[in-house]
Structure 1
Amino acid sequence: MLSSPISSPKASPKPKRFLQVLLSGCSAGGLATFFHCDNLGELLGGVATVKCMSDAGFFLDVDDISGNNSIRPFFSSLVALQGAEKNLNKDCLNSTLDPYLCFFPQYALQNIKTPYFILNSAYDVYQFHHIFVPPSSDPRGHWSRCKADPSACSTLQIATLQGLRSAMLTALKLFEGEPEVGMFINSCFAHCQSELQDTWFAPNSPTLDNETIAELVGDWYFERGAAQEIDCAYPCDSTCHNIIPSNQVGN
């Protein structure tokens, strides 16, 4: 599917239109960029500069608040159902006995050669609701109000949520200081921040070190210097747009 619409650039008499390519996606689309980034670079090899960005696609290999890990069996069944192993990074597959682990960005990214930008909230709403505090870990609904409104979270719940942030920062630690890996990791309750102008590039957009997401991505893409910013812990960031999708409330 990926190769079909771009199989002709090398043969094109006007390849300049492909000089710069950014493969990006949000959520599941952001996750998919980890599987196709290097492949796209190979398909366009020599014709274009290829870089990739994942928005809210850095799904973590993390236990939930009850100590269970529900995302591992989910990803394992997903890889088996879709026959996705053939699309996973070969170097990653050679490093593990469990192929489904290469479905997790934190393991796949270690083997990706193409420049990458990670845009994610340390308190990603989807991961908060479905991976870190899934319904199975909260049968009595003690987290319902907190999920619907972060300001309604108790002190204990906020302290617990710092575990999600810690897992994110631990997973990203390996890539800190890597010039080809950009990061914008803020402390907003959101899921996908590049799709809306309000969060991407606007007068009141979320910022880290006085830079919007668009500005930091631009610094990384055009190699204008260091492009890694990690926010302080919630609730320190006053620039946040805490976006709780209505279909997430009550889950």
Structure 2
Amino acid sequence: MIKRWQMKNHLWSLFGIILLNISVNGMMMEFDEMEWFTEFNGTKMFQTESNVYSEAKFPMVGLTLIQSAASKGAVCLDGSLPGYHLHRGFGSGANNWLVQLEGGGWCDTVRNCVYRKTSRRGSSSYMEKQIPFTGILSDRAAENPDFYNWNRVKVRYCDGGSFSGDSEDKAAKLQFRGKRIWLAAMEELMGKGMRQAKQALLSGCSAGGLAAIFRCDDFGKLFPPSTRVKCLSDAGFFLDAIDVSGGRALRRLYAGVVKLQNLQTMLPRDCVDRLNPTSCFFPQNLINQVKTPLFILNAAYDSWQIQESLAPKSVDPKGSWNDCRLNYAKCSPSQIQFLQGFRTRMVNLVKGFAMPRKNGVFLNSCFAHCQTERHDTWYAKNSPAVKNKGIAVAVGDWYFERGGAKLIDCAYPCDKTCHNLVFRE
């Protein structure tokens, strides 16, 4: 068996599987947190960047398509039905609900969105029929102590605009219906028992983490005041940052998304009244207006933002950042200084947000992206920690108001608990 794993690891390196992100026709796409493959004996497996697991280790949860969505125009980019995965709660958690919004980047041009229609990020026709529930979605107390027996839901992402759009491009046969998908999913879940929730948590990772900020107050309004309702954004704190060329690569991407999906009419009015619509797609301009309790979880050296916002290939034609952007250990002192500036800006932007008692923060000085859905970073013996408190404990302490939920790490390289992600192209 050892030789078999060695062979698998060798094959993984040989074929150069990219776990973080790939660029297709210029489109930024996020990494898959789990890459699937079939072992030599036929067992279906999946791999994170640090471990390989059998599907038997985690519950495999089936895809449910929202049949009522078509009549509401709540469809994916290609017009197919949206979907979700629901794992029922039990015991003391039977009336509690955790809703996780899936991430997966954005598409900012017609060409990119047309390409996206041929993937699970734009069509339910390509979505997995079953997915493993890990990390915050796990049903085991030893892996997910505070939420393991809740009703846990993963809403699939297929609109390319962080569940925000309500428009279409008839010529390109593209449906930008993220807001309608959100509403259809919530209506269906409310009918399946979420209406009676005693406690509820909306969460999301990456583009889904951004969506959790957009939809946080909407989620809160679904429930009576007696329900404890909060929101968690994991790796969704995308900064409007200056890239290594002096430009703003992510602002250009977001401007394309906002224009293509006509989001200026869908973004928070109190923001659009103050700033341009593109600025209102950045969470730094939204989080202080969110009324529902919100928790910001982010790596201070967000690996996706380093690769695709701070130092994408498009703004680094000479390739001086190639090694650093893929492996922090190969960064020069000046590059580390640049990244320290990014961290400082992130810390400064969350300081005011963190002041109200209702909000929580966990900024660790790691090179990572998305830490709630992963078994090894959410709640394991060696999970990342700030001030000796791991991510799952910090989130639980904040949600249940046990205290100590405002944690900001010291700057790199002080944190020795990180699961830094090193990727190759």
Q: Give TM-score scaled by structure 2 length.
A: 0.55
Match runs of 1:158-173 below 5 Å: 158-173=336-351
CA contact (8 A) 2:254 2:278 kept: yes
Determine the structure 2 residue equivalent to 1:210: 388
Q: Kindly provide the CA deviation profile for residues 199-234 of structure 1, in whole angstroms up to 9, marking residues without a partner as x.
A: 011110000011100000011101112311111111
Aligned to 1:219, what secondary structure does the other structure show? Answer: helix
- 1:70-81 to 2 correspondences below 5 Å: 70-81=249-260
The aligned residue for residue 118 of structure 1 is 296
Q: Distance in 2 between matches of 1:163 and 1:132?
A: 11
CA distance in 2, matches of 1:14, 1:194: 22
Q: Does 1:142 align with 2:315?
A: no
Change beyond 3 A, Cα 1:13–1:220: closer
Q: Is the contact between residue 121 and residue 186 of structure 1 (CA under 8 Å) also seen in structure 2? A: yes
Structure with the larger strand share? 2
Q: Can you give the 5+ residue segments of structure 2 that lack an aligned partner in the other structure?
A: 1-180
**How much does 1:10 deviate?**
7.5
* Paired position in structure 2 for 1:54: 233
Q: Which moved more, 1:233-242 or 1:173-182?
A: 173-182
1:1-251 alignment runs, 5 A limit: 1-7=181-187, 15-16=195-196, 18-46=197-225, 48-96=227-275, 98-244=276-422, 246=423, 249-250=424-425
How many aligned residue pairs are there? 245
Q: 1:13 to 1:164 in 2, by over 3 A?
A: closer
Higher helix share: 1
Contact kept? 1:7, 1:43, Cα under 8 Å? no
8 Å Cα contact 1:205-1:239 kept in structure 2: yes
**Identical aligned residues as a percent:** 47
Structure 1 stretch displaced more, 173-182 or 209-218: 173-182
Cα separation, 2, equivalents of 1:14 and 1:161: 42
Quick one: distance in 1 between partners of 2:194 and 2:341? 51
TM-score by length of 1: 0.90
Q: CA deviation at 1:15?
A: 4.5
- Partner amino acid, structure 2, of 1:166: T
**Structure 1 counterpart of 2:240, one-letter code:** D
Check the 8 A contact 1:101/1:107 in 2, yes or no: yes
**Residues 145/186 of structure 1: CA separation in 2 closer, same or farther (3 Å cut):** same
- Evaluate the alpha carbon distance shift between residue 195 and residue 8 of structure 1 in structure 2; reply closer, same or farther with a 3 A threshold: closer
Measure how far apart 1:47 and its partner are.
Answer: 6.2
Q: Aligned-pair distance for 1:183?
A: 0.7
- Gapped runs of 5+ residues in structure 1? none
Structure with higher Rg: it is 2
State how far apart, in whole Å, the 2-side matches of 1:120 and 1:92 are.
Answer: 23
Does the CA contact (< 8 Å) of 2:195 and 2:223 recur in 1? no
CA deviations over 1:69-99 (Å, ceiling 9, x no partner): 1222221221121122333222222222x12
Per-residue displacement from partner, 1:83-121 (whole Å, max 9, x unpaired)?
Answer: 22333222222222x122111101011211010001100
Which AA in structure 2 matches 1:192?
C
Paired residues of 1:65 and 1:133 also in contact (CA < 8 A): yes
Between the aligned partners of 2:189 and 2:381, the Cα distance in structure 1 is 38
